[in-house]
Structure 1
Amino acid sequence: MFTLGMRESYQACVTLPLLLASELEVLISCSYSGALPLRWSCVFEITSTALQLQHQPALSLCFNFLQQELNPQSCLDVVSFAEAYEIVQLLEVADDFVLRQFQKVACTSKFKDLPAKQLLKYLNSHSLCVSSELVVFKAVAAWIQAKPKKRFKLAKELMKTIHFSLMTFKEFREVQSLKMWSDHSLAELYESVLQDFCSSETAPQSQCRIYLPKESLVLIGGDQISEDLGSRSISRELWFGNSLRNHTGIKKALEWRKLGEMPEPARFSHEVAVLSGQLYIFGGKKYYGSGDTLNSVYRYDPVHSSWESLAEMQEKRCSFSVVVLDGKIYAIGGHCDPEHIHSVEQYCPTANSWSFTWPLDLPLSGHVAKVLQGKIFISGGRNSDIQCVAHMFLYYPETRSTYLANMTKPRAHHCMETLGECLYVAGGTTTDENMSIVDQLACEAYNPATDSWTAFTSLPLPHVGAGSAVLEDRFYVLGGYSQEDYSDTKMVHRYDPTTRRWENMGKMPGPNNDLRASVLCLPPHFRL
């Protein structure tokens, strides 16, 4: 029989979660309005309550916060929380953050409280991103010294994860200077570490540290000169950077693998874009004559490794620029012998159609367009008089352009990429005091907040007509040639804004002039 007491108890059981849910709704509403934003001091408690109530709007808000606001101080707390509540997707995101930002995370106090099993999992991962073996050693040493009596017995197993043979003499002197080695229980381990450093016969797997980026650099098409300098050949090839190899000291290289070939014809001076995880290829030239400019468009699906022919551009274009904005693709300016082009057209993927938008103020080729803060910025290029220009301007598809501060010097056939809140410009050609076209090694960055340019470290080699991309907050410049002697630049250089220097990342895998580069997420079967 359902008694009054039973009914009251039942009502209490139902009412309490409803009240908690109501309070949670108020909290969520406040956080949306900005009156009480989510913050780290309360997010775990709110998420825990939302999980208990299975309150989906609150869970969505909390999970978005936990993933988007990750930082070196909070990521290990998120790892622990996700493990405790068995939230697989959140755990993957947090673990990935720890691995990609390992050096910063290792400097936090919470790192020293990591369980040994978890630390070993990170140290043995191919997703561990470190600049040198010294970074790994310092992290391990700090963890051991936090609780030496308990952790000295784990030192041998942890030190096996460090490739001491890849250290320079300067780096190893820092290893030797550690006071930890004065403990007699570590004498045998120290001898083993020293032997590892001095060994010239390291196992193949220890000759470099392999790092797998989440996404891959992809190189598309281009042309190159023959070994005897007698002829040039145009490529249909696609290559991708499978892994980054850290060798001794600062020596690094990309391991390249062939991804496949684009449909006929082979092309150079083309453009590429990535939208919804798929790679688009536009226009370019199929040979070196006056009637060889293309308007064809193809789309590559990396999941099914398939190509699809799309609607052609309304104008044939080479040496132009392409950007993606609000789900649409814009083909901007360019060249089609004998004319420079000022038209701009927009591609709609859902309708598979092109339509013209507002034209540029002047015909341009060899310029670069990039999107920053939801706006299209265009730098440099050549005008109808074949002269390099120093312009930087905002292009609005519905209205006229707005001109910004000029670059320090004119520039064309260069690279420009969005990095943080600035646009970084490198390579290409410029005009000297005699109005001759020469290589441009100087680099500069544009800050839209101040409408100003700031110089940064010059390139070590010319990169005219190079490919470029940003991968994990580094600016890659790939291939190209020298305008002054027409020699190929067969190297990849990477700019790290934290160290403010260019790094040599090894040689190009194939054609290296007027190729294009992009960043693409490839399915696991392409990777290691």
Structure 2
Amino acid sequence: MAETSFSLSGTSSVKEQTHNIDHASDLLPFANKSRQDGRFNDIIIRIGEKNIPANKMVLSCYSKYFDTMFNTEMEEKYKDVVELQAVDAESVEKLVDFMYTGKININTNNVCDLLAVSDFLQMLSVKKLCIEYLLTTITQQNCLTIQALADRFTIPKLTEKFNNYVVEKYQQVISDDHFKKLSKDDVIKLLQLTHDKVSSDLVYTAVMNWVKFDLASNESYLSELFKFVDISKVSPKMLEDVISVEPLIRKLDDWGIYHTTPAVRLHNDLPVRRSSASAVVIDDILYHLAGDLNTDGKETATNIVHRMKLKEKVLKWEKVASMNVERYVFGAAVINDQLYSLGGHDGQQVISSVERYDPSSDEWKDVASMQTPRRWFAAVVLNNAIYAIGGYDGKQTLKSVEKYNVDDDTWVYVENMNIERSSHAACVAQNKIYVVGGLDSGKKIVKSIECYDDQTDKW
């Protein structure tokens, strides 16, 4: 062909035009047609018996996995066939089709495999599409699968979506068979994630739903799972009506530990509320005695008594014999496993009567009365004797102290305190009685402390 000798360079003006032609719109259809008829295919992706023809340049363009394979000194760079292991062949084929067409259909049947394979092939655009699809299709039936995907492929958006969904729909999720069929490890993961975000009642329900679904296989894990139940936050009704009477729970070796914690005892409300009562413990049995019912805002004495056996696996209050006398703001003491109730107010006046309760016979018997009526006083036991200390007799604050001798059923006065006291505290330590604070005869709060030695009868 002859050389061209024409030129416009000598013209007086220069006119320049730039044109952008959309070659890309033609490139993919041409590449796809060429793949179908076999032109330019230089690699076969083999998955089991499935062969997928393709072009290395196209694969490298859309997949960082293939880009690394074909553009570094990996042995596959020089091969005509690349074998992939442990991936879904149909999903790989769909992703190769996507490379050549820009189109992909994502649905509930293929999204999990497409997510896994796009993650493996490092096709971030398809992985993003799968994530967006999952974010819009979470249900109680698939949320646990979605959580597993989020965990496996480290997808924060999916994790956040699952966390919010499962807390909001916890009751439905733990009632679904998908939850009940989870492995023990997956149940633990779910409980770890949610136990502090939903009610303890629901956590307990989740544990029992899973255990009972396949009791033969799951019962051995109950103790491990039950630790996720914050027993101190379980509702009183659930604790009393459900958990405490559940045979599987009562069989747990550590149920006694759960059920004797202070937090659990708080759930065992008294059958009858009252104030200004007394409480003592005899042989690991807690007794709650009499008190003020405060009926319609008025002081109302009662003689009812309840007890709770603290060693029982199921803690509950039960009524025992009532005292002979109604009383509140009274004293109580225990000697030789016998319970003594002293003085107080019967709703009409300050009283001096004393009665003794025998737990073995569930009976109250009157014993010798104190020499002085007392309320708001302190009662302690020292060297097998009961001391009634100070208080108020209905007219004045007292500093007198009297001692009850169990052997001969008598009360005798001992040395007075140094000052009058009512509403004070008293205890025994190092074989001495200590009296702390209270109100003096002028109803002023005092901060002084006195100590009594029964050997010298001195304060």
Q: Which has the higher strand share?
A: 1
* Bigger relative contact order, structure 1 or 2 (CA pairs below 8 A, ≥6 apart): 1
Larger Rg: 2
TM-score between both structures, scaled by the size of structure 2: 0.41
Q: Which has the higher helix share?
A: 2
TM-score between both structures, scaled by the size of structure 1: 0.36
